[in-house]
Structure 1
Amino acid sequence: MPSSLTPSNDVVGLIMAAGYSTRFGADKRRAQLTEGQTLLQATVAMTRSVFEAFYVVLRSDDEERDLGLGTEPVIYAPEEPIGLGTSIAAAFQHLQVDNKDATAAAVLLGDMPWIKPDAFSELLSHATEDTIIRPVYDGNAGHPVLFGRDFWPELANLHGDLGARTIIRKHHSACRLIPVSDVGVLRDVDRPEDLSVL
């Protein structure tokens, strides 16, 4: 995806890609897009254009090459059966050790490769250590969600299938909703028909 952004070195990207694609009926990470990439490869390409440092979060039984990944840094979520909370916790446990200088981390979903550079630029401009930044399109909150460093210890303690919503609710006063003009912040893939162009 072409981007006019200079990749951020203050915010690290986390691609959450450890789910089981239950509603999709197959491994949606491998679903082919018209551009010749898989869904996950397209999300990785988008993320690489925005973040100087990023990680792909996978299941412990995944093989990067089978998913069409190359040298991208990977964090493996250790528990089975896995839930989104488990994946997020594994990612932030790693970040607390490996990314000591980052201001915030952007939690991206592996099935959302259509976010435009302008939306990222707007979100990144608001990132601080003590805020949670979330895009809003047409009144609906989307992804990525940028968590300031102050919230990383709590994110590292999530478990099971509970995602980060509990932390967003708990720290509602620190959450800033940023209007963007990009429907890509809402467009994910749950079922095969979601791959059709909007």
Structure 2
Amino acid sequence: MKVGLLLAAGQGSRFGGDKCLAPLADGTPLVLQAARNLQGAVDHLVVIARPGDSALQQLMRDQGFTVVACDKAHLGMAESLKCGVAATPSASGWLIAFADMPFIQPASYQAVADSLSSDDSLCVPFCQDKQGHPVGFGCGYRQLLLALQGDVGARSILKQYPDKIQRLTLDDAGIVWDIDRPEDLQQANKQLSNDQKG
């Protein structure tokens, strides 16, 4: 069972508040668009949220997604990741995705999921030589994922096993496009609007 872990427990400090529920040009919240794009590539999707973020949790549950509230989310990204891994012990692998990356194409998620062919699979997508997301981990990395600390996610595992990494070259700028600040969202919505007109 391939599991998508959608990390949505950040504080959104650079955004000035809860960016997960910020609307795209068509009104869809960032987190919902990210979840929908990821959904088709995995057998099970788990959204990791802050305990007090009731609006986000309700939105995701209303859409039929599993929500895990991470009590230690404030300690950094590693805690959210560990919550998701611990909640899915039967997973054959995980796609680590982010709620503030709503422009990753479903096909890109599928390509990473397809690359998880064994327990020791590691997959990292690239677009024009820029490393992106989601990153895929086979279930053989479960204990290492559960031992992570701090706010750097799973980068340390990638550094530890460079020879295991399968580099996927994708023609999808969405894999390196995240929304950190309100102006990022404004620019994205403007570009999307122009694309639709074109």
Does TM, scored on the shorter chain, surpass 0.5? Answer: yes
| Alignment CA distance shift 1:66-1:119 (3 Å) | closer
With the length of structure 1 as denominator, give the TM-score of the two structures: 0.86
Q: Percent identity?
A: 28
Residue in structure 2 matched with residue 176 of structure 1 by the alignment: 166
Shift of 1:167: 1.1
Residue in structure 2 matched with residue 113 of structure 1 by the alignment: 102
Counterpart-to-counterpart distance in 1, 2:152 and 2:132: 17
Counterpart-to-counterpart distance in 2, 1:138 and 1:144: 16
Shift of 1:67: 6.0
Does 2:45 align with 1:54?
Answer: yes
Residue type at the aligned position of 2:158: I
Counterpart-to-counterpart distance in 2, 1:80 and 1:126: 29
Residue in structure 2 matched with residue 153 of structure 1 by the alignment: 143
| Greater Cα shift, 160-169 or 60-69 | 60-69
Shift of 1:23: 0.8
| Alignment CA distance shift 1:159-1:68 (3 Å) | same
Residue in structure 2 matched with residue 37 of structure 1 by the alignment: 28
Q: Is the 8 A contact 2:38 2:106 kept in 1?
A: no
Counterpart-to-counterpart distance in 2, 1:66 and 1:93: 19
Shift of 1:119: 1.9
Residue type at the aligned position of 1:165: R
Does 2:77 align with 1:74?
Answer: no
| Greater Cα shift, 183-192 or 64-73 | 64-73
Report SS of the residue matched to 2:125. strand
Q: Deviations over 1:69-99 (max 9, x none)?
A: 2131011212263310111111111122xxx
- Structure 1 unmatched runs, 5+: 1-9
Q: Is the 8 A contact 2:10 2:74 kept in 1?
A: no
Residue in structure 1 matched with residue 76 of structure 2 by the alignment: 83
Report SS of the residue matched to 1:151. helix
Residue type at the aligned position of 2:78: G
Q: Deviations over 1:138-183 (max 9, x none)?
A: 0011000001110011101223323111111111111111101111
Q: Is the 8 A contact 2:49 2:56 kept in 1?
A: no
Report SS of the residue matched to 2:49. strand
Residue type at the aligned position of 1:103: S
Relative to its length, the structure with more helix (as a share) is 2
With the length of structure 2 as denominator, give the TM-score of the two structures: 0.86
Report SS of the residue matched to 1:184. helix
| Alignment CA distance shift 1:120-1:81 (3 Å) | closer
- Structure 2 unmatched runs, 5+: 192-198
| Alignment CA distance shift 1:181-1:60 (3 Å) | same
| Greater Cα shift, 86-95 or 58-67 | 58-67
CA RMSD of aligned residues (A): 1.7
Q: Is the 8 A contact 1:29 1:67 kept in 2?
A: no
